[in-house]
Amino acid sequence: MSLEDELTEEIKKWATKLDDALSTAKARKDRGDKMLLNIRAYRKDSGHFLECGDLIRSFECLIWAWALLEVGKELGYLEA
């Protein structure tokens, strides 16, 4: 399997996990609503870059989305 194939599989795997996490995520405060909006935007951007074949940017968007989700939970803005 090529490096490109491996990265594509990782993107798909983590995108699915993120989608699952977002399906149960809830904002606890106004800031949480803003964070969820940004997380979903990064998730959408990841899909766009994947379709365009820009695997690095696609994966990078997933990393940002996950980071925001984790920070939001840690700070009490999100419940997931």
Q: pLDDT tens across 57-80, in order?
A: 999 999 999 999 999 999 999 997
Kindly indicate whether the domain formed by 3-79 is annotated with CATH number 1.20.1270.90.
Answer: yes
pLDDT tens digits, 36-51: 999 999 999 999 999 9
Tell me the pTM. Answer: 0.92
Confidence (pLDDT) at 61:
98
State yes or no: pLDDT of 25 exceeds 90.
Answer: yes
Contacts of the segment 71-78: beta carbons below 8 A, 24+ positions apart: 71/35, 72/32, 72/35, 72/36, 72/39, 75/31, 76/28, 76/29, 77/27, 77/28, 77/29, 77/31, 77/32, 77/35, 78/25, 78/26, 78/27, 78/28, 78/32, 78/35, 78/36
